[in-house]
């Protein structure tokens, strides 16, 4: 009986895991970050809430090269407490990153002008939605401190990992971007890192921006990676290439 079972199992075709053999292009990212905004004036608040949740979530995850769980965890307080480095650059602390202890955080610089219009639009829409339905914005406690996650669902619940994945899949479907099996939100992080590499960000700085696990390895390549990252963003010209103006609803 055992031999027959083994023989039968040997004939089963093994499913190969999907390789990350492509990433979103910059044109695809533009579509994913602003889908449907031109029609916001004709949408009810419920529809605008769902559309802008996807747009804003994808924008923040891409710009900061975050993992899905990190994007779901990021809060308004993280931006309020950000360090101003001048020239439009701020430094955000990413709490609870992958392989990090509960009291550890990573600091990464971002060109705030590329995020501000989207964050303001999402804040306005989400507050209007919460007011209509008498919902209190999501609040959580972390190490004894109160935080208000930027992203939450229509019931004011924090986004689970499967919801984060579905956000990207659904947005791709609406935007007409075809995904292969297994492709989803990790490709936003991969795309951001690849696009920075194409802009000739030095590999040592890229390792620091990607927040790889091996801190000592990063220090070997860059004595003070955060300072060098801030200098690179200032010198790269990204300050003059902000995202397209978001559609405003009067």
Q: Is residue 113 part of a domain?
A: yes
Q: What is the mean pLDDT of each run of 10 residues along the chain (250 residues)?
A: 46 45 85 96 97 97 91 93 91 72 72 95 97 93 88 94 88 90 73 87 83 52 60 68 52
- Give the list of residues 6+ apart from residue 12 with CB closer than 8 angstroms, or none: none
Q: Is residue 64 part of a domain?
A: yes
Q: Is residue 16 part of a domain?
A: no
Number of domains in the chain: 1
Q: Which residues of 81-113 are buried (b: 16+ CB within 10 A; e: fewer)?
A: ebeebeebbbbbebbbbeeeeeeeebbbbbbbe
pLDDT score for 186 = 60
Q: Is residue 6 part of a domain?
A: no
Q: Is residue 55 part of a domain?
A: yes
Q: Is residue 248 part of a domain?
A: no
Q: Is residue 8 part of a domain?
A: no
Q: Note whether 144 and 103 are within 8 A (CB).
A: no
**Structural domain of 110:** 23-237
Q: Note whether 185 and 179 are within 8 A (CB).
A: no
- CATH no. for residue 91? 1.10.443.10
Q: Note whether 62 and 54 are within 8 A (CB).
A: no
Q: Is residue 17 part of a domain?
A: no
Cα–Cα distance, 195 to 193 (Å, whole number): 6
pLDDT score for 12 = 42
Global pTM value: 0.78
């Amino acid at each position: 009986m055992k031999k027959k079972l083994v023989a039968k199992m040997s004939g089963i075709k093994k499913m190969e895991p999907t390789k990350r053999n492509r990433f979103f292009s910059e044109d695809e990212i533009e579509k994913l970050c602003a889908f449907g905004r031109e029609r916001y004036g004709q949408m009810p608040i419920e529809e605008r809430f769902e559309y802008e949740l996807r747009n804003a979530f994808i924008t923040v995850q891409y710009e900061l090269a975050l993992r899905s769980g990190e994007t779901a965890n990021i809060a308004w307080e993280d931006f309020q407490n950000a360090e101003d480095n001048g020239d439009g650059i701020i430094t955000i602390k990413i709490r609870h990153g992958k392989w990090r202890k509960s009291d550890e955080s990573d600091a990464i610089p971002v060109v705030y002008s590329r995020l501000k219009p989207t964050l303001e639009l999402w804040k306005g829409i989400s507050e209007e939605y919460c007011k209509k339905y008498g919902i209190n914005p999501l609040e959580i406690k972390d190490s004894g401190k109160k935080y208000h996650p930027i992203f939450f669902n229509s019931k004011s619940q924090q986004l689970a990992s499967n919801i984060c994945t579905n956000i990207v899949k659904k947005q791709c479907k609406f935007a007409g971007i075809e995904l292969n099996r297994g492709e989803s939100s990790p490709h936003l992080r991969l795309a951001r890192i690849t696009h920075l590499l194409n802009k000739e960000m030095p590999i040592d700085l890229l390792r620091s921006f990607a927040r790889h696990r091996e801190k000592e390895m990063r220090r070997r390549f860059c004595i003070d990676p955060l300072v060098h990252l801030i200098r690179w963003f200032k010198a790269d010209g990204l300050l003059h290439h902000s995202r397209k103006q978001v559609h405003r609803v009067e």
